Chain A
């Protein structure tokens, strides 16, 4: 199985997609950080500060939650699976490993490593920029306070689980474009609506996006009312449940399909 997981990692790192994805992720993270830094402490129209100031201990956790690039690990997960069908490399993959369940398992294993790798890159980048900003802004940095460790672990777990989510989705849908569009629309539009508004969170908290928020315990007051999310461990369980469900369904379908 170690060999198969290594082969799956080679598949990703021998094409150019991974670093393009890493660059886009860091670019978007930078945009978010620029926004958070420039609007830190700026008063909202009604006179209340909309966002904590740079020297406010609440700012750093906010900046760190911006490191979450789950959309990118989801895309990588989708491509890791659907790319095999798009370029018909699935034929060679199943010839090398005819026990197809092992291929899906290896991809999930590789997804954990890829998700963790991207999370660490994003977290390190964000931490360096955000800590620098706080120090320049005259604040004190305590990386053990304000739920920062929990946030970091939350980002790591979320990005890993979204990679697995993408693999499961890709195995199920197989058509790369359809899986990508479906995944992105789901994550950006449907989920963000269902998990942002507390009134809809009764549904949203059971979806991957709501579960991810619960995992990181992001319950900043957005002015829309009190959040209705699962506890952090509940969020983790929901995400793992989705990944497993997709993997099992994918396994049941791909193992039975003819490759013609």
Chain B
């Protein structure tokens, strides 16, 4: 069964179309990065998935059901939303104890979850004195309480220091690849998730821009080919259906043909190429290209 399924989801707030006909799925055992600039509609999508926001149309399902219909939601889905949702006067452990009680989980879970996220030492400290990074870890501990197989995390790297981000990457990979969980993690900073995710879904201005595996998006498929030649090769390339851009005299950026096709065409046309190389655009440039703005980088 598909762990997470978003189907034609739309949601407006007043005149603002926050999410516009978005569809994607997340399978068990994979980490999917949900990427887009701030305000792209990521949080609204995730909150719809968690039953906090009612979509105008479409569906957002976990394990094939609406979140609001789950009898034991913490056992199925672990969620990390913004890191501010704690009572400052309550200790970390008490925060988790309340969730544990309400969900009817074993009383040992709070301490185990705190141990798992490296917060055991701060268990009896009031959350008011926590750094943003500690709050993120506490939120993650809350998501782990019911030992679910689906994780939904909204910007979990916010406020983490480089060591914390490193730890988070490893932890998310461990959840997906070792325990078989489906992980959906949103971010507006590509670099944070680039080394973690298996699949990427990119959203901008409420609309889905691109989705695919990391390999598809970073590999040759999406990139252009850089061709160096002193001959007049552009007309032939265009005739073959390619999109050609002269970056500088003698250097062409070619889309629509791969290096082999370009080489074959050059051979046919008796054109001398001095360089043929795939522009290995990393995800970052794909991201910027697709979202059409530099926001969040």
A95 touching B68 by the CB < 8 A rule?
A: no
Which chain A positions have C-beta within 8 A of B104? 3
Does A98 reach chain B (CB closer than 8 Å)?
yes
Mask of A87-131 contacts with B, CB within 8 angstroms, 1/0: 111011111111100000000000000000000000000000000
Between A and B, 16 residue pairs with Cβ closer than 8 Å are A4-B102, A7-B98, A10-B97, A14-B90, A14-B98, A15-B87, A15-B89, A88-B84, A89-B86, A95-B50, A95-B73, A96-B73, A96-B103, A98-B69, A256-B54, A260-B13
Which chain A positions have C-beta within 8 A of B51? 94-95, 98
CA distance A259 to B85 in the complex (A): 12
Which chain B positions have C-beta within 8 A of A87? 85-88
Which chain B positions have C-beta within 8 A of A260? 13, 43-44, 47, 52-53
B101 touching A3 by the CB < 8 A rule?
A: yes
Chain A nearest Cβ from B171, distance in angstroms = 20
B contact face: mostly helix, strand, loop, or mixed: mixed
Does B70 reach chain A (CB closer than 8 Å)?
yes
Tell me whether A10 and B101 are in contact in the complex, defined as CB-CB below 8 angstroms, given that A89-B85, A95-B79, A98-B73 are known contacts.
Answer: yes
Q: Can you add 16 more A-B contacts, CB < 8 Å, to A15-B87, A95-B81, A260-B44?
A: A3-B102, A4-B102, A6-B101, A7-B99, A7-B101, A10-B94, A14-B91, A15-B90, A87-B88, A89-B85, A91-B82, A94-B52, A95-B51, A95-B79, A99-B68, A260-B13
Which chain A positions have C-beta within 8 A of B85? 87-89, 91-92
Residue of A nearest to B73 (CB): A98
Chain A nearest Cβ from B193, distance in angstroms = 23
CA distance A192 to B33 in the complex (A): 59
CA distance A14 to B47 in the complex (A): 28
Residue of B nearest to A84 (CB): B87
Does A147 reach chain B (CB closer than 8 Å)?
no
Which chain B positions have C-beta within 8 A of A98? 51, 67-70, 73
Mask of B141-179 contacts with A, CB within 8 angstroms, 1/0: 010000000000000000000000000000000000000
Does A166 reach chain B (CB closer than 8 Å)?
no
A258 touching B89 by the CB < 8 A rule?
A: no
Does B74 reach chain A (CB closer than 8 Å)?
yes
A10 touching B98 by the CB < 8 A rule?
A: yes
Interface residues on B, range: 35 or more
A contact face: mostly helix, strand, loop, or mixed: helix
Which chain A positions have C-beta within 8 A of B103? 3, 96
Chain A nearest Cβ from B206, distance in angstroms = 15
Which chain A positions have C-beta within 8 A of B47? 258-260
Residue of B nearest to A95 (CB): B79
B94 touching A14 by the CB < 8 A rule?
A: yes
In the complex, which residues 1-54 of chain B have their Cβ closer than 8 Å to any Cβ of chain A?
13, 43-44, 47, 50-54
Which chain B positions have C-beta within 8 A of A17? 89
Which chain B positions have C-beta within 8 A of A258? 47, 52-54
